Amino acid sequence: REFHQIAGRAGRAGYDTEGTVVVQAPEHEIENFRLRQRAGTDPKKLKRLRKKSAPQGRTTWSESTYERLLTAEPEELVSQFTMSNSMLLNIVARKEWTFAALKRLLRSTHETRAKQNAHIRTTIELYRGLLRSEVVEEFAADTPSGKDARLTQELQRDFALNQPLAPFALAALDLLDPESPEFTLDVISTFEAVLDDPRQVLSGQQRAARDEELAALKAEGVDYTERMNILEDVTYPRPLAEALDNAFDIFCESNPWAKDFDISPKSVLRDMIEKGMTFSDIIATYRLGRSEGVVLRYLTDAWRTLDHSVPQSYRTEELEDIIEWLGELIRQVDSSLLDEWATLSDPDAPLTEEQVTEHAFGVTDSSALSANKRALRRMVRNHMFRHVELFAFEKEEQLAELDSYLEDAPDWPAAMDDYFEEYADLGVDADARSNSMVFIDENPEGAPGQWRVRQILDDPEKDHGWAFEGMVDLAATDEAGEVRLASLVIHQG
């Protein structure tokens, strides 16, 4: 199959009607030919000739293989066409009559009439779903049917439904309470539910949750059999699971095509935000050292979906910050992905000098974190809240590891003793994470190249006397690709 595919591409597409394919002999055959050339016609040299053989275990070929491939019947090409919401949106966005464009596309596929009809039925279901979701609207037009379709005006220019169930997520946004302090995180959870499961991450979360529950049950003196029964029900976090499951059942009634898919509530990105984790943190926390690619791919899908599928009316300032932060985090892990997508989304846009530098062969990404202040502010907030979260659960060793590069790190065990002697608990909820609990000074007096950040601890009495105060070293942060502090002190109330 590969031979015929390569041969079929000979010549320049759109210019040449025929081309030439050169098939090279295996390396050992070429070497043997050279040896025979050197020996010439001398029978003694030819007799002493040591022929090379094919490397053991490697597939080889000969001239007879070449002849057989030339005369073999090419493998039949099978159409892999499928209609998606993203494709349908692109067609609706065209200036031509939508229904004529769809008919031409669906009737020109290299498939049987029956399969074409099946695609048409799927397209009708998808189209009706987009109408109900108010992503697409019909309007009176000078066409044979008297109407045409267009994208609704409030959608951003790069709006796209890249996930099969993105229309459901879009419709489910109406169920959320904009006044809730968890609103932004709930928007994220709604779209995370339609992303593919990163199984290794979910397994790691479940393992961590069970370990934590097991430790608590042992401390309570629960017997072994009961412990095992309780642990069976412990799973990874699934925010909004019940509400989304019920909503999806209703959605499927009016959108039959959605029954071929299923939602999967989960909390990966949300977990990182709630716990202030970086990419390195989530890898270490859930022991995902061999699954970094899975995590990166999932976060990339999440970034892309949130950036292109959330309507402007739901894009809070906090969500914009999160999208900016997530994009920068992905760029720091793999700088090539985002710039490639940016180029693909607008291929006619000229490359900037920065993009050319980033794409040059052998040159790594030279972009600095401090150049993107919005993303860095989010990273700093996450970094400081990570300290709060670890402090709240008395994770002394993890705090020590987090600040291991500091010359004068805080005495976390002593600070925990003092705090929990004064207060019974420490908040790590939405109120504790709010912007009102963290202050960032980007131009502290007498400290060029640094930011001052103060993270207030949310004690149960709301005294707010305890705080972590640090100086962010911008140069070290740029070099490390993640937040680095020059100092960190604990202020006791």
Q: Which domain CATH number covers 110?
A: 1.10.10
Q: Which of 203, 285, 274 is nearest to 427 (CA)?
A: 274
In a domain, 286, yes or no: yes
Rg (CA), the chain: 30
In a domain, 482, yes or no: yes
pLDDT in tens, 101-137: 999 999 999 999 999 999 999 999 999 988 888 888 9
316 with 379, same domain: the answer is no
pLDDT attached to residue 188: 97
| 292 membership: H or E segment, kind and range | helix 292-309
Find all residues with CB under 8 Å of 296, minimum gap 6, and list them: 279, 330, 333, 334
Among 324, 357, 388, the domain boundary falls at: 324
In the chain, which stretches have pLDDT less than 70?
Answer: 1-2, 5, 8-14, 153-159, 335-367
Provide the token pair at 49: 């000739």
In a domain, 316, yes or no: yes
3-class state of residue 487 by DSSP: strand
388 with 424, same domain: the answer is yes
411 with 482, same domain: the answer is yes
361 with 377, same domain: the answer is no
Among 12, 42, 71, the domain boundary falls at: 71
Q: Are 462 and 383 a contacting pair, CB within 8 Å?
A: no
Among 138, 153, 168, the domain boundary falls at: 153
The count of domains in the chain is 5
252 with 351, same domain: the answer is no
pLDDT in tens, 176-185: 999 998 999 9
121 with 32, same domain: the answer is no
pLDDT attached to residue 306: 94
In a domain, 433, yes or no: yes
- How is residue 449 annotated by DSSP? T
Range of the domain at 246: 178-324
The alpha carbon of residue 55 and the mean position of all alpha carbons in its chain are separated, in whole angstroms, by: 41
204 with 306, same domain: the answer is yes
Q: How far apart are the first and last CA of the chain?
A: 73
3-class state of residue 148 by DSSP: strand
Q: Are 319 and 285 a contacting pair, CB within 8 Å?
A: no
3-class state of residue 490 by DSSP: strand
- How is residue 328 annotated by DSSP? H
In a domain, 114, yes or no: yes
206 with 294, same domain: the answer is yes
Q: Are 228 and 245 a contacting pair, CB within 8 Å?
A: no
362 with 391, same domain: the answer is no
354 with 412, same domain: the answer is no
